[in-house]
Amino acid sequence: MNTDPTRNQSFYDLTDLNSLRQDALKSTGDADASEEALRKAAQQFESIFTQMMLSSMRKANEVLEDKDSPFNSSSVKFYRDMHDQQMSMQLSSEGSLGLADLIVQQLSPNREGYMPGSVLRTGAELQSDRIANGETNKPTQDKPAEVQEKAGGEVRFDDPESFVSQLWDYAKSAAEKIGLNPAVMVAQAALETGWGKHIIARQDGESSFNLFNIKADKRWQGDSASKMTLEFEQGLPVKKQANFRAYDSLKDSINDYVDFLQSNPRYQDALNKTDNPEQYLDALQQAGYATDPNYAEKIKRVLGRGEFQSMLSASVHQGVN
């Protein structure tokens, strides 16, 4: 027996919208109820999207229709639109398009490790999400893993291990200034740039060396690089063109990250919590460093992975030798 209430919904039943509202209010503090309310809202959104798509196709087809046809009358179109609207709700309840599932995966508080590239802060986290989920990226070439940082502005990391190895000494030196574990700094840079694979490029194609995607505001007097990015506003991703700081080297980027935090009063609370990485990251997000609501949690997941800890141990051991 089918007990799914969405199967019996009517497009014109306004009580369904009120039901969604009530479910959202009741789900506060209850993760399971919250996801159930989210799924209902996602299905409602999918049905609206489907109806708009059907409407657009109908309008495109009207150009080819015979105007004198009895099936082209306003009354026929009225009932046809009613049919399309009800069908859109039925298709949504059956998950035909899969849009509702994607929305739930993206917004559900019960899911981890899922973040489509289209809604990332810089569109560059895909590689870091793979590492956070335990999928290490091995070199595809026969030569040893290495990183190249040239004076001409080119930087390349062959794998996550080379990324951590190259940044470790710089991060260690800079982190000492604020009493922060350098691993936190490396993990944040990994998340921001996809382990160095997606560092923002200047207009001429050279690297900006911007490891933390710090924007070039009015206080910045150096070079900048422009990039289309997606920011979260009121929980929704919004595409914007933004200018980001550009540096001469990776070392300059890491040092400026510390200077940026120390010169901005809103990050004072985070700087007071550098002895506790989790509290530091939470305070950093609360201060508005990133608009992604899961920003701090993603960095914590990178920090907690065994593969990342192994990379850190190798870098420390290499530095001792």
User: What pLDDT sits at residue 63?
Assistant: 55
Closest listed residue to residue 86, CA positions, set 110, 51, 118: 51
Residue 216 lies in a domain: yes
CA angle, 188 then 192 then 196, to 5°? 100
The catalytic position among 129, 158, 256, 282 is 256
Do 180 and 290 fall into the same domain?
yes
Residue that terminates a domain, selected from 107, 127, 150: 107
Residue 164 lies in a domain: yes
The number of distinct structural domains making up the chain is: 2
User: What pLDDT sits at residue 151?
Assistant: 40
Do 84 and 125 fall into the same domain?
no
In the chain, the amino acid numbered 206 is: E
Do 225 and 305 fall into the same domain?
yes
DSSP 8-state symbol, 222? S
**Cα distances (Å, whole numbers) of residue 144 to 159, 161, 162, 317:** 10, 11, 10, 18
User: What does each of the 321 residues of the chain score in pLDDT, given as a tens digit?
Assistant: 444 444 455 555 545 556 655 665 565 555 555 667 777 777 777 777 777 877 777 776 665 555 666 666 777 777 777 777 777 777 766 665 677 777 776 666 555 444 443 333 433 344 444 444 444 443 333 333 334 444 444 567 888 999 999 999 999 999 999 999 999 999 999 999 999 998 999 988 899 999 999 999 888 999 999 888 777 676 666 777 889 999 999 999 999 999 999 999 999 999 999 999 999 999 999 999 988 888 999 999 999 988 899 998 888 766 544
CB neighbours (10 Å) of residue 44? 19
| Residue span of the structural domain in which 286 resides | 117-320
Do 40 and 146 fall into the same domain?
no
Do 133 and 258 fall into the same domain?
yes
Q: Tell me if residue 135 is catalytic.
A: no
User: What pLDDT sits at residue 42?
Assistant: 76
Do 99 and 224 fall into the same domain?
no
Range list of H helices, the chain: 15-26, 31-62, 74-93, 99-107, 126-132, 160-175, 182-193, 250-263, 268-271, 277-286, 295-304, 306-320
The catalytic position among 231, 248, 269, 278 is 231
Do 137 and 19 fall into the same domain?
no
Residue that terminates a domain, selected from 107, 130, 154: 107
Q: Tell me if residue 256 is catalytic.
A: yes
The CATH number of the domain where 152 resides is what?
A: 1.10.530.10
- Say how many Å lie between the first and final Cα of the chain, rounded: 68
Residue that terminates a domain, selected from 107, 140, 158: 107
Do 151 and 296 fall into the same domain?
yes
User: What pLDDT sits at residue 107?
Assistant: 66
Residue 112 lies in a domain: no
Backbone CA torsion sign across 314, 315, 316, 317: positive
Do 45 and 149 fall into the same domain?
no
Residue 148 lies in a domain: yes
Inter-residue contact 121 to 295 (CB < 8 Å): yes
Do 131 and 247 fall into the same domain?
yes
User: What pLDDT sits at residue 217?
Assistant: 86
Residue 171 lies in a domain: yes
Do 97 and 126 fall into the same domain?
no
Do 193 and 301 fall into the same domain?
yes
Q: Name the pTM for this structure.
A: 0.55
